[in-house]
Amino acid sequence: MLKDKTIVLGVCGGIAAYKAVELLRLIKKAGANVRVVMTQSALEFVGETTFRVLSENDVCTGLFNSKESSVRHIEWASEADAVVIAPATANIIGKMANGIADDALSTMMMAVTSKVMICPSMNTYMYENRAVQRNIDILEQDGFFILEPGTGELACKTSGAGRLPDPVLIFDRLVKLFYPKDLKGKKILVSAGPTREAIDPVRYISNHSSGKMGYAVAEAAEKRGGVVTLVSGPVSLSPPIGVDVIKIESAKQMADEIIKNMDDADIIIKVAAVADYRPSASHDKKIKKNGNLTASISIELTENPDILKMVGERKKERQFLAGFAAETQNLDVYALKKMEKKNLDLIVGNIVGVKGSGFEADTNKVKFFFRDGTTHDLPLMDKAKVAHKILDHISARVISS
Ligand code: CTP
């Protein structure tokens, strides 16, 4: 999303200014052109050279010290695709809220017409000060996106709100600014990952699902403005930012959480690879081996509830329900059967067991089957892209209905 975009990074004088260096690196790594504007106070905390070298651009530190042009702040304002101010002090917040332009950053902000994200960071008492809160409200009303500071121990030895969030989080929220908000306010319930069916306290039956596809769907939906709940089996992925994650282990637990959360949902997307069977009896003590190499041991299995089918039976007219069909052969036939049996609006069929597609891979090759009989075949692509394609189709149908 940031590739070839021009991002202006405003850095103010706060102890967290050092975190802006890491933020700059993340934005550069995403392929953007970054221009840094530093206030005079920021220069007390981090050197201009660091930002100049890492941004591969001149750094603007004053209105009149540019070699090429004294109107650089105007050019930078008009060429910006987005501006992020991190850390934003009480001073810049106050100036921007009240139309004061007395240095390079505040003057440039007067001319900015792009998206702007402001990341307040200061001592807790300063942050809670009524004037600062009033100014933040004004900036919000003026259409600026305010990233709430984190809470915790601050450099001034107090503890509370005011910490500049982690650069990874700031970067993620900056990227979010660039997505369409076509799912704004829609409640979206997603399931992801495998389930684990316990044999005894140390062993289980599961499958190869990594959760990548489901996590990509949840992340994409949140970026597009959805209010997302993700019911996730055990995976080694970081929870997507801004998503409410409910962790479960077994199919039975997943069924309970999905049923509990489905009534509120506008869109339900079941990506999870639910284990179809569980051991009929789960032992509460570890099963010991008997040392007999020729004797066989068997585990009796019982079928798990089909969660998607349960949801399909309960779903209301206004709810959109999508499922996945992981097949090794006869994709069209099996996918259409599942769509019918589980009362789905969309089934995303994918061939598993081929290189680059299905479980564990970062890419997927899928085909969409819609209730109205239309289909859409996609080439092999990144799971994040597949997630957005799924949401494009759902959004077009949900919004037009
Ligand atoms: N699913 C579910 N509960 C189950 C099994 C599957 O909710 N007990 C959902 C999956 O999340 C997926 C869809 O049903 O969205 C299809 O899953 P898949 O494993 O492809 O098919 P199954 O219905 O299990 O049928 P089969 O294993 O015979 O292919």
Residues 268 and 374 in one domain: yes
Instruction: Indicate the top mutation candidate among 313, 332, 338, 368 to test ligand 1's pocket, ranked by most ligand atoms within 8 A of CB.
Output: 338
**Residue 274 belongs to a domain:** yes
**Which pTM was predicted?**
0.93
CA of 204 to the centre of ligand 1 (A): 19
The CB of 276 under 6 Å from ligand 1? The reply is yes
Q: 326 C-alpha vs ligand 1 centroid, how far in Å? A: 8
Residue 288 in any domain: the answer is: no
CB 41 within 8 A of CB 16: no
For atom 24 of ligand 1, the residue with the nearest CA is 276
Asked if 138 and 193 sit in the same domain, the reply is no
Residue 361 lies in a domain: yes
Statement to judge: residues 125 and 230 lie in one domain:
no
- In total, how many domains does the chain have? 2
Helix 17-29 with 48-55: angle, nearest 10 deg:
10
Instruction: Tell me the pLDDT of the chain (401 aa) as tens digits.
Output: 899 999 999 999 999 999 999 999 999 999 999 999 999 999 999 999 999 999 999 999 998 866 655 677 889 999 999 999 999 999 999 999 999 999 999 999 999 999 999 999 999 999 999 999 999 999 999 999 999 999 988 887 788 889 999 999 999 999 999 999 999 999 999 999 999 999 999 999 999 999 999 999 999 999 999 999 999 999 999 999 999 999 999 999 999 999 999 999 999 999 999 999 999 998 899 998 888 888 888 999 999 999 999 999 999 999 999 999 989 899 999 999 999 999 999 999 998 877 777 677 889 899 999 999 999 999 999 999 999 999 999 999 887 66
Instruction: Please work out whether the CB of residue 9 comes within 6 Å of at least one atom of ligand 1.
Output: no
Q: What's 45's domain CATH number?
A: 3.40.50.1950
Considering the domain architecture, whether residues 60 and 100 belong to the same structural domain is answered as yes
Domain annotation covers residue 289: no
Q: What is the pLDDT of residue 401?
A: 65
Last residue of a domain, one of 122, 150, 176: 176
- Ligand 1 pocket member 307 (CB < 6 A): yes
Is position 119 annotated as part of the catalytic site?
no
256 lines ligand 1 (CB under 6 A): no
Q: How far is the CA of 386 from the centre of ligand 1 (A)?
A: 19
**369 and 312 assigned to the same domain:** yes
- Taking the CA of residue 342 as reference, the ligand 1 atom at the shortest distance is 14
Residues 99 and 221 in one domain: no
Separation of CA 254 and ligand 1 centre (Å): 13
| Res 282: pLDDT | 80
Q: Are residues 163 and 221 in the same domain?
A: no
The last residue of one of the domains, among 176, 197, 226, is 176
Query: Residue 362: its pLDDT value, please?
Result: 87
Question: Quick one: pLDDT at residue 67?
Answer: 61
The ligand 1 atom at the shortest distance from the C-alpha of residue 251 is 8
Residues spanned by the domain of 201: 187-279+299-400
Tell whether ligand 1 has an atom less than 6 A from the beta carbon of residue 22. Answer: no
- Is there a single domain that holds both residue 170 and residue 235? no
pLDDT score at 66: 62
CA–CA separation, 137 vs 127, rounded Å?
A: 12
Rounded distance between C-alpha atoms, residue 254 and residue 257, angstroms: 5
pLDDT given for residue 400 in this prediction: 66
| Ligand 1 and 251: CB distance under 6 A | yes
Is residue 310 situated within a structural domain? yes
284 domain-assigned = no
275 lines ligand 1 (CB under 6 A): no
Same domain, 93 and 159: yes
Q: What residue owns the CA closest to ligand 1's atom 27? A: 276
pLDDT of 68 reads 54
From 12, 60, 119, 156, active-site residue? 156
Q: Is 272 in the pocket of ligand 1 (CB under 6 A)?
A: yes
Q: Is residue 181 part of a domain?
A: no
On whether both 54 and 105 belong to a single domain, the answer is yes
CB distance 359 to ligand 1 below 6 Å = no
Pocket flag, ligand 1, residue 270 (CB < 6 Å): yes
Instruction: Please report the pLDDT score of residue 83 as a whole number.
Output: 98
Domain CATH number, residue 327: 3.40.50.10300
Question: Is residue 141 domain-shared with residue 203, that is, in the same domain?
Answer: no
Q: Kindly give the distance from the C-alpha atom of residue 274 to the centroid of ligand 1, in angstroms, as a whole number.
A: 6
Interval between CA 271 and ligand 1 midpoint (Å): 9
127 and 228 co-located in one domain: no
* 258 CA closest ligand 1 atom index: 7
CA of 276 to the centre of ligand 1 (A): 7
